[in-house]
Structure 1
Amino acid sequence: MTRRRNPFPGVTRAPDRHGKVRWRFRRKGFSCYLPGAYASAEFRAAYEAAQLEAKTPTPIARWPHGSLGWLITHYLASPRHAQKAPSTRKTLRAELDWLRHTKDEGGADAGDLPVASFRGRHVEALMDKKDGPAAQNRVRKNMSLLFNYAIRLELIAANPVRATDRVKHKSDGYHTWTDAEIARFLKRHDSGTQARLALLLALNTGAARQDLAKLGWQNVKGGRITYKRGKTGVEADLPILPELAEELAKVPRTQMLFLPTQAGAARTPAGFGGWFKAKAVQANVTADSANIHGLRKAGATRLAEHGATEWEIASFLAHEDTKQAAVYVRKANRAKLGTSALARLGGAKSEHNLSNPGEGLGKSDAKRKE
């Protein structure tokens, strides 16, 4: 009898101590657990990501048990890491690789240091090796994640990151596209072009670049567009507005992907981002501003300014909670309150309510110009 070939090479059945069936991927020294039911969409996505991670060249090192390098290796092979979105796993792996190979003051790899020896000053020293508050805070966040994991493994009793502070800085993150930038883009890229469709898809669906690259007619039914966000796993279900419907009507039904490469293949997230940035620069949108995430923010801002609730905006962005949506609502409400506050002054009859009116605003100015 012919033995059936494993459709997922490297995957083996691995029941845990409670008898729950889990699936482990192993290849060339790399291993991780795969989330979801066997052969499910979630399982397949994680399997593809694991294959890529296994191929990623990483310096071979044997970290001492209980060291930071050992902890990172252990964490990257854990179910906790495997359950993250593929894009998050890829980014985090690169950041943790940097962490364990960064040199300390004595010239040794930080990965060789015992986890139990870390104190707040050691965390701050590693933070200082990065330029800019955002990057420094990212190091702090990653180390907190690792030390919390070390507590679960009973390597340490307390998280030394708690003895440090975040680097304070004011930033709104990615630039939010303005109405003027959107108008310039639409003027530069005519109806029927992939560039125009990409902008309208991002603006009207709130999809991230990794999700936009996979959208196609399989996501459209009954005048609605549905997809599961790759990063959060949350499903979005949105009506197709007229401006988007007009562009989708120009895409042949035989073409499954809305925004394929010239060869008809799906773009990678990074490839999609680079392609879209080039199209935005053609429309005189600066390279620093030309990103898909800024269009997601513009779409959410537009909803907030029209009175959408926090959960409505969270549904649009396919977020699991309303934490980020609340930011858009608060910002929109501040603008509305500022307008209504000044409207009270504008509606007052007393002339002294308008102190120092600008040139041409006062009655006496009008008389002089006559």
Structure 2
Amino acid sequence: MAKTRLITRSGSQRVPFKYCSRDIDRHGNERFYLRLPGMPKYRMTSAYLDEAGSITQAFTEEYHRVLAGDRGEKTVPISRLEPGSVRWLVETYYRSKAFQSQSPATQKDKKSVLNRYCANVGELPFKKIRKSDIEASQMKRSDTPGAADKLVKYLKALFNWAITADLATFNPANGVTKIHNSPGFHTWSEAEVARFRAAYPVGSMARLAMELMLNLGVRRSDLVKLGWRNLTGNRIEFSPEKGAGKYTQSLSLPVTDELREVLDAITHDQPTFLITEYGKAFTGNGFGNKMRQWCNDADLPECSAHGLRKASATILAEAGATEHQLMAIFGWSDSKMAQHYTKAAQSKRIIDAGFERRKTYVAHKNVPLSPVRDSGEANQGKNDEKTTSEE
């Protein structure tokens, strides 16, 4: 374990991190510990202050990493936890087949959410948790409604597993409604796609990324792994990361003309299509941040990587793709999401058909029943009648 020598300037300062404390051993070494409720204490390994007396970035990053539940290779022994506590239930869940069968990305996300929850209620007995407690935790996070609803979702999964494992008799998260009513990520419009293409020509990494997402509709976690090995003839074949632990799935998507154009313009020889400015493959989060930068630079602040996946589904649905076709293309295991797009496309077609009928009706209604004579001819006719009468 690395030791951090005492820096006297921190001696009189309070450690500005929740659950973090400082002490000095008998040799004068400064030590920092993170004591999360219901968890064994964790000794920080990063230096606290630099030579200028400022808190180091490494210490801050380690603190947030551990707070999110990532203690490196360390695992919390069940024997050191209070049996029946929320933390005990969560750690038991982590060791279950149900949890271990999920993808690494899903496991990491669930640990981040549930460990933060345990930081506040980890020592409480889980059998005393009620619906009102779940709702209180949800509302405590109402400033970030998406994160609040995600906590409820993961707690519901936790207690569903506990019921099947004969550890719980009811699920306190059942009946807790969502507070996040946002339509989600903005779907790119045709005009926004055109604007992005105008800003980034063929041959640029930004254009390649956009065309891959729009034409394949893949998740960014899969996108960053795609490369030449996935190109078979005129198709791109891969196994999606999401759901890999539950079922085996393989997608084979055709290369469109727009996608072929940008693939032919690739000049690097790296294994993945998309690479960073340092010649390395993107991570999922790293790519999301880069796409955010590209969109901002193109004056498209509402657009995002996931919005391209939604645009891809919208285009296919409006082209007449069925629910089962969308499920096959996007790797959805049920028809719920596919129905969302097909119903929206069907509604748009019905509305357009209604206005076409209106157009036809108005045009027909405005057609005169008999030819309209020239006003001069009409007046001449009247004059002729008067003349004849006088004679």
TM-score of the superposed pair, with normalisation by structure 2? 0.70
CA distance in 2, matches of 1:60, 1:125: 30
Shift of 1:297: 0.4
Note the alpha carbon deviations across 1:261-310, whole angstroms, 9 max, x for none. Answer: 23332111111111121111111110xx3321110000000000110111
Note the alpha carbon deviations across 1:157-178, whole angstroms, 9 max, x for none. Answer: 121223x430355322111111
SS at match of 1:198: helix
Q: CA RMSD in A?
A: 2.6
CA distance in 2, matches of 1:325, 1:183: 26
1:196 aligns with 2:207: yes
CA distance in 2, matches of 1:244, 1:161: 44
Q: Among 161, 168, 177, which residue is 1:156 paired with?
A: 168
Aligned equivalent of 1:337: 350
1:55 aligns with 2:72: yes
SS at match of 1:215: coil
SS at match of 1:128: helix
CA distance in 2, matches of 1:334, 1:285: 27
SS at match of 1:225: strand
Q: Among 64, 67, 83, which residue is 2:101 paired with?
A: 83
Counterpart AA for 2:94: L
Note the alpha carbon deviations across 1:153-209, whole angstroms, 9 max, x for none. Answer: 3222121223x4303553221111111111111100011111101000000111111
CA distance in 2, matches of 1:147, 1:201: 39
Shift of 1:352: 8.3
Q: 5+ residue gaps in structure 1?
A: 1-51, 103-109, 354-370
Q: Among 141, 147, 152, which residue is 2:159 paired with?
A: 147
Change (3 A) 1:268 1:253: closer
SS at match of 2:83: coil
Mapping 1:63-74, distance limit 5 Å: 63-74=81-92
Deviant stretches of 4+, over 6 Å: 56-61, 350-353
Pair member with larger Rg: 2
Counterpart AA for 1:66: G
Shift of 1:54: 5.8
How many residue pairs end up in the alignment? 294
Counterpart AA for 1:126: S
Contact 1:66/1:114 (8 A) holds in 2: yes
Mapping 1:211-290, distance limit 5 Å: 211-233=222-244, 234-252=249-267, 254-286=269-301, 289-290=302-303
1:96 aligns with 2:107: no
CA distance in 1, matches of 2:191, 2:73: 42
CA distance in 2, matches of 1:169, 1:202: 26
Change (3 A) 1:58 1:346: farther
CA distance in 2, matches of 1:168, 1:352: 50
CA distance in 1, matches of 2:350, 2:180: 26
Counterpart AA for 1:317: F
Contact 1:208/1:296 (8 A) holds in 2: yes
SS at match of 2:173: helix
Contact 2:163/2:170 (8 A) holds in 1: yes
Aligned equivalent of 1:346: 359
> What's the % identity of the aligned pairs?
35
1:299 aligns with 2:312: yes
Counterpart AA for 2:324: W
